[in-house]
Chain A
């Protein structure tokens, strides 16, 4: 495939996703509070599926990466006498970058791919037409709960991940006998955090979650699919979400440099 054709496909996908995003937010705005007896349990299901059920794996990753990464960073900084940079480094690496990315990728891998298959199968088997025939808006019924659910899930999982990573990092450093008290450790982190970090982290994780939900639904629903197309749609979703998360991440770099 030529580079020009590849570029055109990327542009078409971005345009399609943008239009799909606008339609979804339009539906979210115009249908807020409608059909709550149906929509609220669906949102609840998605939060449970993408958030609560993934808590064990995210906690495990938080503990493991905390020991491997945070523990080593703290130990190395102590060794070279640069412990005053501990807080700044942990806030930048763990809180601002690693935690949202890990939470987003875990949700994508464990729930996102399964959701593309579900939605793609529903599309291929004509269930979307069945919804339309009943006067049910597929965006309202299928997309809105997923976007809300994934947004809440990525935000919540990020908090659990970073708390456990920081705690296990200290535990690792403590076991290695580093002369750093718990109070000093958290004082370093607190000093490096700015007030803007809290809303920025909330916005970043919400954007990761919403984008993951939108890409999944776009790939599963927005185009006619046959059963044999679903595998391709799933791999495209993973690629699109990873690239999307990294692009969003890059957008936050200048903001973090300013605060």
Chain B
């Protein structure tokens, strides 16, 4: 029996957020099933971020059909869109777009407090295991501007996981990490994918974008490429390593 489909795109045009007339990727035909881990590779400006934002319902789809959890993404703000977004965690590129006026702990618990109307103490107790595993407990009272970027990325990941989403979208979080932090991310994402205690052992559906395939070869089980306005599904890890396509070799760090 097939697993439920989480993301389904048919002929979707992924456009630039600043210029909706400018397609970055078209057409995108893609199906993500529950429990899969997809790695979407591409160079800067290839449309990876816009693809994630489209899948998260943050950008409109001018052409094609997008269904998330089997339902079309609602066009207007409302309860249906809120419920959809509660099931999708997004970790934005760079420093993760944390809220600078909130402390690390307040950032992480904000979605819990907003949606479940929890007090700060109750929400802090709820996320305590996550904060400890992310080594953020000692930084809880700091503002994001006072901690390094490697830690703000973890805060952004913790915030995205706070509501225990079904689908987690990560935008190029491995870029520029030192080997220690890179190992932590690989191990944690691997654990999430296999079924982490935070998600009650349920395997997490993941979509990870990257501009370097090497750190994620052992994390992803499906790989795709966005390059030259084209969307291409490469296959599994073995197919990535066996690929002779120039774009793929480049993203594996091989120069001509």
Contact = CB atoms under 8 A, between A and B. Distances in A.
Interface of A: 34-38, 125-127, 129-130, 132-137, 141, 224
Given A136-B110, A137-B82, A127 B99 contact: yes
A37 B110 CA distance: 10
Contacts of B83: 135
B134 to A, nearest CB: 18
Contacts of A224: 18
Given A35-B113, A35-B115, A141-B114, A133 B99 contact: no
Q: Which of B56, B92, B96, B114 has the most CB of A within 10 A?
A: B114
A35 B83 CA distance: 15
18 contacts: A34-B117, A35-B114, A37-B113, A38-B114, A127-B97, A129-B58, A129-B97, A130-B97, A132-B58, A133-B56, A133-B92, A134-B163, A135-B82, A135-B85, A135-B115, A136-B110, A136-B114, A224-B18
B159 A134 contact: yes
A115 B123 CA distance: 28
A182 to B, nearest CB: 47
Contacts of B86: 135
Interface string B63-89: 000000000000001000111011010
Interface in B89-132: 90, 92, 96-99, 110-111, 113-115, 117-120
A135 B90 CA distance: 11
Which of B86, B88, B96, B97 counts the most A-chain CB atoms under 10 A from its CB? B97
B118 A37 contact: yes
Contacts of A132: 58, 85
A133 B85 CA distance: 6
- Most B CB atoms within 10 A — which of A34, A37, A127, A137? A37
Contacts of A141: 114
B115 A126 contact: no
The size bracket of the interface on B is 20 to 34
B52 to A, nearest CB: 10
Nearest to A122: B99
Contacts of B163: 134-135
Contacts of A38: 110, 113-114, 117
B124 to A, nearest CB: 12
A35 B118 CA distance: 8
B107 to A, nearest CB: 10
Nearest to B119: A37
A128 to B, nearest CB: 9
Given A125-B97, A127-B97, A127-B99, A133 B115 contact: no
A106 B77 CA distance: 35
B53 interface: yes
A141 to B, nearest CB: 7
A135 B111 CA distance: 8
B7 to A, nearest CB: 15
A39 B233 CA distance: 44
Given A126-B97, A127-B97, A133 B90 contact: yes
A126 B59 CA distance: 13
A178 B103 CA distance: 58
Nearest to B85: A135
A224 B17 CA distance: 10
Contacts of B88: 133
Contacts of B97: 125-127, 129-130
